Structure 1
Amino acid sequence: MTLRLYLMRHGETEWSKSGQHTGRADIQLTANGEDEARKLGERIRSIEFDHVLASPLKRARQTCELAGCGEHAKTEPDLIEWDNGEYEGHTHADVFKQRPGWNLFRDGCPGGEMPDQISVRVDRLIERLIALDGNVAMFAHSHIGRVLGARWIGSPVQTGEHLILNTASLSVLCYQHENSDVPAIESWNGRSLS
């Protein structure tokens, strides 16, 4: 079987709505986020998943459950969101006041993860993923997902800056022409229009 990774970001939370950096804070979905997760479930209903992985954080696990994949889900610690350290709960505007020009993907977070650390973590995850076959559902977060997309195609962590992931989005990572030497992004940041 050919490996296909279905990367899904969790539904809306109060902090994703307000633009606050949400790393390890274990917050739940809003009512709208729950609706987004159910709509995501409708989009993936016809896909038979051989593996279902979810971040240990509540918002990803809720999305997995509401999307109809919770029964077979396994917690994957390396899918946890980027540790924002001292910037947890702050908006970009808050951080820019202290540190003009700051960029998460280049500068990391004091007291949290740095780009080289998240690269090692995602590369470790990819090594485990490529040992799997079939369709793999992954319920995760914005920044870790963006790094996963970048590292999947062999690009540095900094490429993640250019890969936006909206709430309840669906992205597909695969191999070009089923050639495992050519990892590819088949689709990115797909959202339900309804």
Structure 2
Amino acid sequence: MSSNSFPELYVLRHGETEWNAAGRMQGRLNSPLTAKGIDQARTQRRILEAVDLTGFEIVSSPQTRALHTAVEIFAPSAAQIRTDPLLCEVDIGDWQGRLRAELTVEGDAKMTVDGPLAFYEQAKGGEGFGALRRRCDMFLQSLKGPAVLVTHGITSRMLRVVALGLPMDGMVDLPGGQGVVFHISNGAHAVLQ
């Protein structure tokens, strides 16, 4: 499927968690949203309130931090939220729960606003980017129409790489961050703030 044949998407990363603030790797583990993280979710709500979401499905990762973010955004409108494990964060194996400062990577760290991507690719016992890309492609292929996706930092980047038809290294160049909304339509990418 080409990037232009995917439905319109709004892709969101969960709000800041206690572990984000502490520099701790989360992966498949969970940490509660901070007060700042809840405010970021409310900012995302305000952004999406300006958008006509008629006909959009809302799908969240079942991981607590993403689902809490989705509830903060959509509870006032009583929108139905479906969860899908394909939207879970990349599994980082033995590095889950570890402080970033304790970890070292080989070669180019591939720095982004959300930290070094190499932490997620090189994590011992982790999923790796190839498997994550296949998972994200499987999820996007399953969509029947436009959707709002509430997910995680690395999974968000990979979903956008797949939806835009970019090579794997495109993850480095895509914007990241919390409290924003990424919009993909007809192969074009925009950041809503």
Query: Which TM-score tier does this pair reach, normalised by the shorter chain?
Result: 0.7 to 0.9
Deviation for aligned residue 1:124: 0.5
Q: CA deviation at 1:171?
A: 0.3
- Within the candidate set 51, 55, 68, 2:57 is matched to 51
| Aligned 8 A contact 2:23 2:101 in 1 | no
After TM superposition, the structure 1 = structure 2 runs for residues 121-132 of structure 1, keeping only pairs within 5 Å, are 121-129=135-143, 131-132=144-145
CA distance in 1, matches of 2:124, 2:108: 11
Structure 1 runs of 4+ with >6 Å offset: none
Q: Which runs of 5+ in 2 are unaligned?
A: 1-5, 110-116
Quickly say closer, same or farther: Cα 1:8–1:90, change in 2 above 3 A. same
Deviation at 1:33, TM superposition (A): 0.9
1:184 aligns with 2:173: no
2:97 corresponds to which residue? 89
Unpaired stretches in structure 1, ≥5 consecutive residues: 176-182
Q: What CA deviation, in whole Å up to 9, does each residue of 1:93-112 have, x standing for no partner? A: 3221xx44364458442212
5 Å-filtered alignment, 1:13-92, equals 13-49=17-53, 50-68=56-74, 71-92=79-100
TM-score (norm 1): 0.81
Give the aligned CA root-mean-square deviation in angstroms: 2.2
Q: Indicate yes or no: 2:115 matched with 1:111.
A: no
| Aligned-residue identity in percent | 27
Secondary structure in structure 2 of the residue aligned to 1:48: coil
> What is the DSSP-based 3-state SS (H/G/I as helix, E as strand, rest coil) of the residue aligned with 2:138?
helix
2 CA distance for matches of 1:92 and 1:100? 14
User: Does the CA contact (< 8 Å) of 1:22 and 1:89 recur in 2?
Assistant: yes
Return the structure number with greater relative CO, CA threshold 8 A, min gap 6.
2
The answer to whether the Cα contact below 8 Å between 1:78 and 1:125 also exists between their aligned partners in 2 is yes
Q: Deviations over 1:19-71 (max 9, x none)?
A: 32221112221111112111211111133332100000111111111112563
Measured in 2, the distance between the counterparts of 1:108 and 1:119 equals 15
* Matching residue's letter, 2:52: E
Whole-Å Cα distance in 1 between the matches of residues 166 and 46 of structure 2? 32
